[in-house]
Chain A
């Protein structure tokens, strides 16, 4: 089944904080891990509330982000959105992990010294 995933980004890295993210990358991944669609969005201003609305409006299945406040993490999980939080690393390495289904919350990937 196809999955819709939103990644909060800061240029080519995962944005350090969900509430301060200004860019997002929206991916549609086929069941086998192929990227069906990829779209970047620039946000008008950072806002955790608006990001949550965007995630729900676009019917995302999962979110990949850096640090996120407990209440937003709970809210998204309550809305049945899978939250991969605390992720540190490059967007490319994170997408590789998503495609192979090996990404976990708290993973550090793609930085020198960290496992790719």
Chain B
């Protein structure tokens, strides 16, 4: 068996920095590279306080004395991506035939901090609402899929709340205290898109969305708009956990990927607009948000929910709907789904002086629709 020390360190779930007796970095393990955003080759030979940037190391280095290292403990460090990370630092000193080797074992406490935050925070009712069996099923799934780091594919028509669902899963996950980065993959030059997603190193280092989402979640909307070369790089990230900034070296990132599409992904894959391998990797956890017309139970609930929400926000006393206004709203097919319903209610509460929402408080296009439907019927 021929396993190097670095292979062993790379397999550890905690970060390790190996130092020489002058407290210069010899190497970092994979977990440390992911935590700090530095590749081991970039920082070899540098004083560790400039790499870890831990409060403890800067104010009172645990390896400063010649004897045993002073005890570590809770502190924080600052990553290359300008993020303060709570850590537990344990200094270790080993004596070998070739001399002393110093180690800093770094445990990322972000998950514990996020758990604390989650326990202090009520669930996700505010961000995702619905009372239909279809929505209740999805709401029940949120905490289950939130606990893992598997990629997620969310499908649904425009306005069904794909972004909100992604955010709700992030908020319920151990990554809740870390960034949630949303990126719309709309039409964009491939080079710009590449730099936006993966970052670039020249002329000045610029972190991409992956680096910004370090430790958290990256949500890519309209995934089918990505060109095939970028889709292949996403696949590589899902397989290896590494990305390569423009002009830079491959680097590890700890990011949970969520993606969404408005079109059936199997159709997209068949048409060649979505790389089949990427589709199958993303669809490990797939959530389909039904359109509002397929869950009429939610319409009444959402109308009252948003009426109360906007009345409270606009400080108005709006008590309900007249029967005619309500029947007009129920007759509307809501092609824009929940987003459209929400916009209609914002308009109605804004226009209605007080009391019940009447037909004349609804947007003009709704007033014209019943006649068209009447003619059809």
Which A residues form the contact surface with B (CB < 8 A)? 10, 13-14, 16-17, 20, 66-70, 73, 85-86, 88, 104-106, 108, 111-114
Is the Cβ of A67 less than 8 Å from the Cβ of B78? Answer: yes
User: What would be 20 A-B contacts, judged by CB atoms less than 8 Å apart?
Assistant: A16-B53, A16-B57, A17-B55, A20-B55, A67-B78, A67-B79, A67-B80, A67-B82, A69-B83, A69-B84, A88-B50, A105-B204, A105-B205, A106-B80, A106-B204, A106-B205, A108-B42, A108-B46, A111-B45, A111-B47
Closest B residue, CB atoms, query A15: B58
Interface centre among B44, B78, B81, B84 (most CB of A within 10 A): B78
Interface centre among A10, A70, A104, A108 (most CB of B within 10 A): A70
Is the Cβ of B46 less than 8 Å from the Cβ of A88? Answer: yes
In-complex Cβ contact of A16 among B44, B58, B204 (8 A): B58
Is the Cβ of B45 less than 8 Å from the Cβ of A85? Answer: no
Tell me the residues in window 67-81 of chain B with beta carbons closer than 8 Å to chain A beta carbons: 78-81
Interface centre among A10, A66, A73, A86 (most CB of B within 10 A): A86
Is the Cβ of A112 less than 8 Å from the Cβ of B45? Answer: yes
Is B2 close to A, CB under 8 A?
no
Minimum CB–CB distance from A30 to chain B (whole Å) comes to 24
Is the Cβ of B46 less than 8 Å from the Cβ of A114? Answer: yes
Q: Which residues of B contact A20 (CB under 8 A)?
A: 55, 58-59
Q: Which residues of B contact A16 (CB under 8 A)?
A: 49-50, 53, 57-58
Q: Which residues of A contact B83 (CB under 8 A)?
A: 69-70
**If the complex has contacts A67-B53, A105-B205, A111-B46, are A86 and B58 also in contact, measured as CB distance less than 8 A?**
no
* 10 cross-chain pairs, A with B, having the tightest CB-CB distances, nearest first: A113-B45, A67-B78, A70-B82, A106-B205, A67-B53, A88-B50, A16-B53, A16-B50, A16-B49, A20-B58
Tell me the residues in window 54-99 of chain B with beta carbons closer than 8 Å to chain A beta carbons: 55, 57-59, 78-84
Is B203 close to A, CB under 8 A?
yes
Is the Cβ of B53 less than 8 Å from the Cβ of A104? Answer: no
Is the Cβ of A85 less than 8 Å from the Cβ of B204? Answer: no
Q: Which residues of A contact B80 (CB under 8 A)?
A: 67, 86, 106
Give the docked Cα–Cα distance between A16 and B80 (Å): 11
Q: Which residues of A contact B50 (CB under 8 A)?
A: 13-14, 16, 66, 88
- Seed contacts A88-B46, A88-B51; 18 additional CB < 8 Å A-B pairs: A10-B58, A13-B50, A16-B50, A16-B58, A17-B55, A20-B58, A20-B59, A66-B50, A67-B53, A67-B80, A68-B78, A69-B78, A86-B205, A105-B204, A106-B80, A111-B45, A112-B45, A113-B45
Is the Cβ of A17 less than 8 Å from the Cβ of B53? Answer: yes
Total B residues in contact with A, Cβ cutoff 8 Å: 23
Q: Which residues of A contact B204 (CB under 8 A)?
A: 104-106
Is the Cβ of A114 less than 8 Å from the Cβ of B45? Answer: yes
Minimum CB–CB distance from B320 to chain A (whole Å) comes to 44
Q: Which residues of A contact B205 (CB under 8 A)?
A: 86, 104-106
Closest A residue, CB atoms, query B37: A86
Give the docked Cα–Cα distance between A73 and B46 (Å): 24
Q: Which residues of A contact B45 (CB under 8 A)?
A: 111-114
Tell me the residues in window 257-308 of chain B with beta carbons closer than 8 Å to chain A beta carbons: none
Interface centre among B45, B55, B58 (most CB of A within 10 A): B58
Q: Which residues of B contact A106 (CB under 8 A)?
A: 80, 204-205
Closest B residue, CB atoms, query A111: B46
Interface centre among B47, B50, B53, B203 (most CB of A within 10 A): B50
Give the docked Cα–Cα distance between A111 and B80 (Å): 18
Give the docked Cα–Cα distance between A103 and B205 (Å): 12
Give the docked Cα–Cα distance between A70 and B178 (Å): 13
| Chain B 308-339 near chain A by CB (<8 Å), digits 1 or 0 | 00000000000000000000000000000000
Give the docked Cα–Cα distance between A111 and B53 (Å): 16
Give the docked Cα–Cα distance between A114 and B81 (Å): 21
Q: Which residues of B contact A113 (CB under 8 A)?
A: 44-46
Give the docked Cα–Cα distance between A30 and B202 (Å): 27
Q: Which residues of B contact A10 (CB under 8 A)?
A: 58
Give the docked Cα–Cα distance between A2 and B114 (Å): 47
Minimum CB–CB distance from A32 to chain B (whole Å) comes to 22
Give the docked Cα–Cα distance between A17 and B57 (Å): 11
**If the complex has contacts A16-B50, A16-B58, A67-B53, are A104 and B78 also in contact, measured as CB distance less than 8 A?**
no
Q: Which residues of A contact B81 (CB under 8 A)?
A: 70
Give the docked Cα–Cα distance between A104 and B45 (Å): 20
Q: Which residues of A contact B59 (CB under 8 A)?
A: 20
Give the docked Cα–Cα distance between A111 and B51 (Å): 13
Minimum CB–CB distance from A51 to chain B (whole Å) comes to 14
Minimum CB–CB distance from A85 to chain B (whole Å) comes to 7
